[in-house]
């Protein structure tokens, strides 16, 4: 096995990096380095091939090392490597903004660029508050999220988010309230969108009764919640949320950082679910994960509300943005990625492979230590029995076992998460889930 020295890393270098979303102490005892990626595979320091069962972090649906993206980045870096804001623009960002609107539901035709999913989440929440203020309704500031929701790690995102550990140690957040999540015991092992639970959207009515709509700016939900373990929305749930938001003048934000650009077999989760929000957040698949970039698309009426201001026309309509908003290299990567998604009919491929993934995932529902299986599009989440006791199974250990078998999957809370590249084959799906079944059996001592 390759040593640190073989990888050209010193112990001090290893210690210098405070790694993100990683148990640093564990990692540094047993460093698992990814050294190369091509197509559907990663390669470790020994050159061992590892199937990418999560498309990076839900990012690389087109596979790794796509030459078209590499070329677009190289060309852009040599032509224009950086471009400032403050009354300057560059052509690619305008081309990309329009291109993105071709993927968005009708009417979401104004695009603000960010550098990540977390920045998209906080940007959308700030736009919502500023929008109501502009309309003379400055008291509409409260933000509504949901249990198990994940909207990144900035203060807005962790405030509306519903994953306790991401929030608990960081002190007071932004004024927010939460609806319940939609994982119901009666829906366990449902294939695709569950039939029970649409009425959970009425939690919003309870929150309106408690806080008053005159104080509420927006509701933010993931159409399919990915990070908490692939939670598809109950049939009718998002439509009911939309109706309640309309009745009470509350903006509806879909956080589509995972869903947008094909994971559910459609351009957006909104399209997959047949519900149009006021704002859509995106990142990840936008550039195929190759360069960090996010974006927020909103209805034209929201944009126009900011544009009809009197005063000097050089005044910032929205004093918000990032040094890397609309970065030229990210724009070039995104334009190349979006072209590939269409040229290679990726959404159709996802729709074709989704039932095969569904079947393979639910086969594992028969295992004693699997307490739920959920799926939507080309994504599946398996909950493992996690009650304290001898029968509990730690998903971290399962993911580690999978790595040893040559498969990368993600663990999170009590779940294993799977989201293979869009052009995955039936045979690859079968072998991945066979390996997962074997890993679970081995760890539960049944093999
Ligand atoms: N929102 C959602 C729905 C996400 O899934 C994620 C990332 N998994 C984020 C926001 C945060 O994105 P980033 O890590 O790029 O900041």
- CA-based angle 380:176:167, to the nearest 5? 60
- Asked if residue 264 and residue 379 are part of one domain, the reply reads no
| The pLDDT of residue 114 | 98
Domain boundary among 343, 364, 383: 343
Contact 106, 300 (CB under 8 A): no
pLDDT of residue 95: 98
For residue 296, the CA-to-ligand 1 centroid distance in Å is 13
Query: What are the residues whose beta carbons fall under 8 Å from the beta carbon of 202, sequence distance 6 or more?
Result: 240, 244
Mutate to test the pocket of ligand 1, among 115, 284, 287, 294 (most ligand atoms within 8 A of CB): 284
- pLDDT value of residue 308: 82
Of 113, 121, 156, the one to substitute when testing ligand 1's pocket (max ligand atoms within 8 A of C-beta) is 121
Contact 105, 276 (CB under 8 A): yes
Q: Are residues 54 and 76 in the same domain?
A: no
Please report the pLDDT score of residue 190 as a whole number: 98
Q: What is the DSSP letter of 147?
A: T
Give the list of residues 6+ apart from residue 80 with CB closer than 8 angstroms, or none: 90, 92, 328
Report CA(156)–ligand 1 centroid distance (Å): 12
The residues that bridge with 383 in the sheet, in sequence order, are: 372, 415
CB of 122 closer than 6 A to ligand 1? no
Angle between helices 426-443 and 346-363 (to 10 degrees): 30
CB 258 near ligand 1, within 6 Å: yes
Task: For residues 104 and 55, state if they share a domain.
Answer: no
Mark whether 155 and 47 lie in a shared domain: no
Q: Is residue 10 part of a domain?
A: no
Give the pLDDT of residue 447.
47
DSSP state of 137: -
Report how far ligand 1's centroid is from the alpha carbon of 279 (Å).
Answer: 16
The pTM for the full model equals: 0.97
Q: Hey, which of 61, 152, 228 would you mutate to test ligand 1's pocket, going by the most ligand atoms within 8 Å of its Cβ?
A: 152
Q: What is the sign, positive or negative, of the torsion defined by CA atoms of 227, 232, 234, 235?
A: positive
Cβ 257 under 6 angstroms from ligand 1: yes
**H-only helix segments in 212-345:** 237-247, 269-273, 300-307, 328-343
ipTM above threshold 0.95: yes
Q: What CATH number corresponds to the domain at position 159?
A: 3.40.640.10
Q: Are residues 55 and 75 both part of a single domain?
A: no
Number of domains in the chain: 2
Asked whether residue 311 falls in the same domain as residue 414, the answer is: no
Same domain, yes or no: 245 and 121? yes
Q: For residue 215, report the distance from its CA to the centre of ligand 1, in Å.
A: 27
Q: Are residues 439 and 313 in the same domain?
A: no
Chunked into runs of 10 residues, the chain (447 residues) has average pLDDT values of 90 96 94 95 96 98 98 98 94 98 98 98 98 97 98 98 92 96 97 98 98 98 97 98 98 99 98 98 98 98 89 88 98 98 98 98 96 98 79 89 97 94 98 97 77
**Does residue 325 sit in the same domain as residue 388?**
no
Domain hosting residue 103, numbered range:
69-343
Q: Write down the pLDDT at residue 295.
A: 99
Same domain, 413 and 308: no
Q: At 297, list the tokens.
A: 């698309």
Q: Is the CB of 380 under 6 A from ligand 1?
A: no
In a domain, 9, yes or no: no
């Amino acid at each position: 096995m390759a040593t640190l020295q073989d990888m050209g890393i010193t112990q001090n270098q290893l210690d210098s990096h405070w790694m993100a979303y990683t148990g640093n102490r564990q990692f540094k005892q047993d460093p698992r380095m990814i050294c190369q990626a091509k197509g559907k595979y990663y390669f470790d320091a020994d050159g061992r091939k590892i199937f990418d069962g999560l498309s990076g972090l839900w990012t690389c649906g087109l596979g790794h090392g796509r030459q078209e993206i590499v070329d677009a980045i190289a060309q852009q870096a040599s032509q224009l490597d950086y471009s400032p804001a403050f009354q300057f623009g560059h052509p690619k960002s305008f081309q990309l903004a329009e291109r993105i609107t071709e993927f968005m539901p009708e009417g979401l035709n104004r695009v603000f660029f960010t550098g990540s999913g977390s920045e998209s989440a906080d940007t959308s929440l700030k736009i919502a508050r500023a929008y109501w203020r502009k309309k003379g309704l400055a008291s509409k500031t409260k933000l509504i999220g949901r249990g198990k929701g994940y909207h990144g790690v900035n203060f807005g995102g962790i405030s509306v988010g519903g994953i306790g550990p991401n929030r608990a140690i960081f002190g007071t957040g932004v004024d927010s309230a939460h609806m319940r999540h939609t994982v119901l015991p009666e829906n366990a092992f449902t294939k695709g969108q569950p039939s029970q639970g649409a009425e959970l959207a009425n939690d919003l009515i309870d929150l309106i009764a408690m806080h008053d709509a005159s104080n509420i700016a927006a509701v933010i939900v993931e159409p399919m919640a990915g990070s908490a373990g692939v939670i598809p929305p109950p049939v009718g749930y998002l439509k009911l949320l939309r109706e309640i938001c309309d009745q009470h003048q509350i903006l509806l934000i879909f956080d589509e950082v995972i869903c947008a650009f094909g994971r559910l077999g459609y351009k957006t989760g909104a399209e997959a679910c047949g519900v149009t929000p006021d704002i859509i957040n995106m990142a990840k698949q936008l550039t195929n994960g190759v360069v960090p970039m996010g974006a927020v698309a909103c209805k034209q009426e929201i944009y126009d509300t900011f544009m009809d201001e009197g005063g000097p026309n050089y005044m910032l309509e929205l004093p918000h943005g990032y040094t890397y908003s609309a970065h030229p290299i990210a724009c070039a990567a995104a334009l190349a990625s979006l072209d590939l998604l269409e040229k290679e009919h990726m959404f159709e491929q996802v729709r074709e492979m989704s039932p095969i993934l569904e079947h393979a995932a639910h086969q594992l529902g028969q295992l004693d230590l699997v307490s739920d299986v959920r799926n939507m599009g080309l994504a599946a989440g398996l909950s493992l029995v996690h009650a304290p006791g001898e029968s509990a199974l730690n998903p971290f250990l399962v993911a580690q076992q999978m790595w040893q078998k040559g498969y990368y999957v993600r663990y999170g809370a009590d779940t294993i998460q799977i989201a293979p590249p869009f052009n995955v084959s039936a045979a690859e799906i079968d072998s991945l889930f066979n390996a997962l079944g074997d890993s679970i059996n081995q760890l539960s001592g049944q093999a």
